[in-house]
Structure 1
Amino acid sequence: MTKLDNLNAKVVWITGASSGLGKALAEECALQGAQVVLTARRFDELEKVRIGLLNPDLHLSIVADITDESQIRHAYAQVLECKGRIDWLINNAGLSQRALISETTMQTERAIMEVDYFSQVFLTKTVLPTFLAQKTGRIIFVSSVAGLLGTQYRASYSAAKAAIHMWANSLRAEVAEDGVDVSVIFPGFVKTNVSMNALNGEGKAQGYDNDATANGLDAGEFAQISVKALLKGEEYIVVGGRKEVLGTWVSRLSPSTLYKMIRKAKVK
């Protein structure tokens, strides 16, 4: 477990960095002295984020669709060419869901799994040789409290976020002797556009916010808590309100109690 006082001169690569959690994490990492590599599909939006960071000239915008393997390989080559190393990889890009199982098409099921699981697996496998050669670094996955609990209207999303958590556990065990650390962050409700972009059963963006997200934790506060925990070397990081944190504890202590709580919850 590697602890750091700050991120001075460290290279931090963040996916889904054009908005929401990714933007907030980029801002906090820059404040901690990192050289941040921002990746998303829209260059203009990435540049807006980069220019707003502390010491913008230290940072880099690289466009890539994380579901396109050739684009990921090219982005990886660009990062190494420009920065020479990667100290933290933050797999943040993701896609949520707001639909009942009975209403969700298989195409939508696969689309969510592609973004939230397979693309992160491929990016990590692509970057892993650099971490192993360096014998240092931290690979980070942004999962979700939904991946620990499983709730109505989020079956595919919960499944994908649980899958990446388990994959990360296996990765952590396999690289434990190679100087590479693995952390998973489990956000609860955070004020972002995640609900706006969440897929309905037909695979289209929901297009409106939900009360739980609108009243959630501020994205900047989420980033501060997460980066502080990562600097301490923590591997299992739950960040959310009282109800979400309580739910994660109940899930460990009494799964049957949790199931009863979820049945009564109004989570849409």
Structure 2
Amino acid sequence: MTFINKVIWITGASSGIGKAVALELSKYNCKLILSSRRTTVLNDVKNECLLPKNVEVLTLDLADYKTMTTVVTKAISFFGKVDILINNGGISQRSLIIDTDIEVDKKLMDIDYLGTIALSKALLPHFISQKTGHFVTVTSLMGKFSSPYRSAYCGAKHALHGFFDALRLEHEKDNIKVTMICPGFVNTNVARNALTGDGSIQNKQDHATENGLEVSVFAKRMLKAIKQEKFEVYIGKGETKGVYLKRFFPKLLHRIILRSKVR
């Protein structure tokens, strides 16, 4: 698979992984649609791209998931089609279960899960009609195993794996691909923007995230996985081993995470 002449739609494109992927993709001869809630910042990202004339901005709030049919119609109107949807938008959470208001759990599910699948379902008929399409969904290693202080986030990310594995099975006959991208620690603002138990923003970085993979390195590895049409890929440092420990030695992983005192 090649990115040449493809139309690629990226959610959460105003910062972090989404921005890095957009800038990297702009080096190819492809068209980009950039989405997030922050229109002004998206325009800044557009202007940083190699060929801004090949980039369109489409404001999108994943929490407003009942409007996705209209949003998809607008996205298709830019270049006449969409070939790849990179579901990257979302938020994280840092609080103990006992301290987390149920409204925080709901917000994580509304944005990270329901918003993502509503957008994907709205675009699905377009992919079916053109007999090709590729859903790329950025979940997390927390979609494969869990960690303290991230219960709502882990729940939403686990749910994405269940949904998109089913979508891949149902629509292989329509030549529709699904790639699940599972980041470990990546040096972005995900921790700073995470919600705490009462729904307020944490507004501080954590040590593990700060010392995570550089986002530009992550973007290159992610695009390689998309090109290869991988089903699922784990991108990070040593923390990626947790996926295999969970599968074969779950009690050992449990003890390792407890000793790490991760926040």
- Separation in 1 of the partners of 2:102 and 2:247? 31
The 3-state SS of whatever aligns with 2:154 is helix
Q: TM-score, normalised by structure 2?
A: 0.97
Identity among equivalent pairs (%)? 37
- Name the amino acid aligned to 1:139: F
In the TM superposition, what whole-angstrom CA distance separates every residue of 1:119-149 from its partner, at most 9, and x where no partner exists? 0110000000011111112101100011111
What's the CA shift for 1:258?
Answer: 1.4
> Are residues 1:165 and 2:154 paired?
no
- What corresponds to 2:224 in structure 1? 228
- What corresponds to 2:36 in structure 1? 40
- Name the amino acid aligned to 1:247: G
- What corresponds to 1:254 in structure 2? 249
- Name the amino acid aligned to 2:153: Y
What's the CA shift for 1:112?
Answer: 0.8
Contact kept, 8 Å, 1:64 with 1:71, in 2: the verdict is: no
Contact kept, 8 Å, 1:65 with 1:72, in 2: the verdict is: no
> Are residues 1:113 and 2:106 paired?
no
Q: Give the length in aligned residue pairs.
A: 263
In the TM superposition, what whole-angstrom CA distance separates every residue of 1:235-268 from its partner, at most 9, and x where no partner exists? 11100011x1111111121222212222222210
- Name the amino acid aligned to 1:245: T
What's the CA shift for 1:32?
Answer: 2.8
What's the CA shift for 1:78?
Answer: 1.4
- Separation in 2 of the partners of 1:182 and 1:131? 12
What's the CA shift for 1:69?
Answer: 3.1
Q: TM-score, normalised by structure 1?
A: 0.96
- What corresponds to 1:156 in structure 2? 152
- What corresponds to 2:202 in structure 1? 206
What's the CA shift for 1:218?
Answer: 0.7
Contact kept, 8 Å, 2:138 with 2:180, in 1: the verdict is: yes
What RMSD over aligned residues (CA atoms) do the two structures have, in Å?
1.0
- Name the amino acid aligned to 2:64: D
- Separation in 2 of the partners of 1:116 and 1:69? 11
Task: For 1:1-268, list aligned pairs within 5 A.
Answer: 4=1, 6-242=2-238, 244-268=239-263
The 3-state SS of whatever aligns with 1:197 is coil
Contact kept, 8 Å, 1:217 with 1:240, in 2: the verdict is: yes
Question: What residue ranges of structure 1 are gaps of 5+ in the alignment?
Answer: none
Q: Displaced runs of 4+ in structure 1, greater than 3 A?
A: none
- Separation in 1 of the partners of 2:74 and 2:50? 22
